Amino acid sequence: MHELSICQRIVKLIEAQVGERTVVGITLQIGGFAGVEISSLEYLFPFAAKNTVVQDAILTINHVTSKARCNDCQHVFSPQRRYDACPECEAYGFELLAGDELNLISVSC
Ligand SMILES: [Zn+2]
């Protein structure tokens, strides 16, 4: 499953950073356009974290609101989907400015 492999990548990344130390908290930043189902990620994370330094960590997910600029009228808005039309001029096609983030923000030991 997609979200499980993301969890496993995050765990590996954290292990590489902290070594043998026990992690108590992790903060992720995820945008609505990152292609990640946050509820699945939260559900699957404990499986990926099991028997690692991350297993008792509290996972916090900061959701990033999407932001895009219309290619036609330059209006900046918050699309919910890839193919949303511009609310100003109803044109399709925008440049995504924010919302595709999938970042590890902090790890506390
Ligand atoms: Zn527009």
CATH (one of 3.10.129.10, 3.30.465.10, 3.40.1550.10, 3.30.2320.50) for 2-69+98-108: 3.30.2320.50
CB of 59 closer than 8 Å to CB of 47: no
Question: What spacing in Å lies between the alpha carbon of 67 and ligand 1's midpoint?
Answer: 13
pLDDT digits (tens, 9 = 90+) for 5-20: 999 999 999 999 999 9
Is the predicted pLDDT of residue 80 greater than 80, yes or no? yes
Both structure tokens of 58: 């509290």
Specify the 3-state DSSP secondary structure of 77.
Answer: strand
pLDDT digits (tens, 9 = 90+) for 18-32: 999 999 999 999 999
pLDDT-derived band at 82 (thresholds 50, 70, 90) equals: confident
Q: What are the residue boundaries of the structural domains of the chain, listed by start?
A: 2-69+98-108
- Percent above pLDDT 70 for the chain: 99
Is the predicted pLDDT of residue 1 greater than 80, yes or no? no
The end-to-end CA distance of the chain, in Å, is 28
Both structure tokens of 68: 């895009």
The answer to whether the predicted template modeling score (pTM) of the entire model surpasses 0.75 is yes
Q: Spell out the residues 6+ positions from residue 11 whose beta carbon is closer than 8 angstroms to its own.
A: 48, 49, 52, 54
Question: What spacing in Å lies between the alpha carbon of 4 and ligand 1's midpoint?
Answer: 37
Question: What spacing in Å lies between the alpha carbon of 36 and ligand 1's midpoint?
Answer: 27
